[in-house]
Amino acid sequence: MAKNYAEHHASVVVNAPVNQVYALFSHFNDFPKFMSFVKEVTYYDNQNSHWVADVAGRHEWDAINENWIENQQIGWRSTNGLENFGKVTFEPTGSNQTRVDVFLNYNPPAGPLGDAGEKLGVGSRFDNALQHDLDHFARMVQDAPAGALDPNSSYYLFHGDSAAAKGGTTQRQNRTM
Residue 129 maps to which CATH number?
3.30.530.20
Instruction: Give me the pLDDT at residue 15, please.
Output: 92
Is residue 46 in some structural domain? yes
How confident is the prediction for the chain on average, in pLDDT? 79
Task: Give the closest residue to 174 by CA, choosing from 158, 152, 155.
Answer: 155
Is residue 14 in some structural domain? yes
Question: Which residues, 6+ apart, have CB-to-CB distance to 71 below 8 Å?
Answer: 18, 19, 22, 90
Is residue 93 in some structural domain? yes
The residue range of the domain holding 139 is 6-176
Is residue 148 in some structural domain? yes
- Alpha-carbon span 78 to 55, nearest angstrom: 16
Q: Are strands 73-81 and 38-43 parallel, antiparallel or unpaired?
A: unpaired
Question: Which residues, 6+ apart, have CB-to-CB distance to 116 below 8 Å?
Answer: none
Q: What is the pLDDT of residues 54-110, one digit of tens each?
A: 876 788 899 999 999 999 999 999 999 988 999 999 999 988 999 999 998 888 765
- Alpha-carbon span 130 to 153, nearest angstrom: 25
Number of folded domains that form the chain: 1
Instruction: Report the run of H or E that residue 68 belongs to, with start and end.
Output: none
Share of the chain above pLDDT 90, in %: 32
| pLDDT greater than 60 at residue 111 | no
How large is the angle between the packed helices 18-25 and 123-143, nearest 10 degrees?
Answer: 120
Instruction: Give me the pLDDT at residue 153, please.
Output: 52
| pLDDT greater than 50 at residue 1 | no
**Considering Cα of 123, then 127, then 130, then 136, what sign does the dihedral take?**
negative
Is residue 1 in some structural domain? no
Instruction: Give me the pLDDT at residue 157, please.
Output: 47
